[in-house]
């Protein structure tokens, strides 16, 4: 598991997209997961973060440092 802590954006998915919630990691392009609840999406995105970092290192790419911007959006 990554020792880095990245901000995660949790947003609801539409019914057409299967419902539930999406979790995206703005600092890691393309890193995302989903879940039936916000909590499940957050748990699932931790695996996605670990996989993203592992693949970046495997291919010799730099792993971005986590941004310091933490925001909470509702609505």
The string of pLDDT tens digits covering residues 9-57 is 999 999 998 899 999 999 999 999 999 999 999 999 999 999 999 999 9
pTM for this entry: 0.82
CA distance 48 to 43: 9
CA distance 40 to 52: 19
Does residue 75 have a pLDDT over 70? no
How crowded is residue 6: how many other Cβ atoms within 10 Å of its Cβ? 19
User: Can you give the residue ranges of every domain in the chain?
Assistant: 9-58
- Contact partners, residue 60, CB within 8 Å, separation at least 6: none
């Amino acid at each position: 598991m990554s020792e880095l802590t990245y901000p995660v954006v949790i947003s609801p998915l539409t019914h057409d997209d299967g419902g539930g919630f999406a979790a995206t990691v703005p600092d890691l392009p393309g890193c995302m997961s989903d879940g039936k609840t916000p909590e499940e999406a957050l748990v699932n995105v931790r695996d996605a973060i670990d996989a993203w970092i592992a693949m970046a290192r495997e291919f010799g790419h730099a792993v971005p440092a986590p941004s310091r911007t933490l925001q909470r959006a509702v609505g």
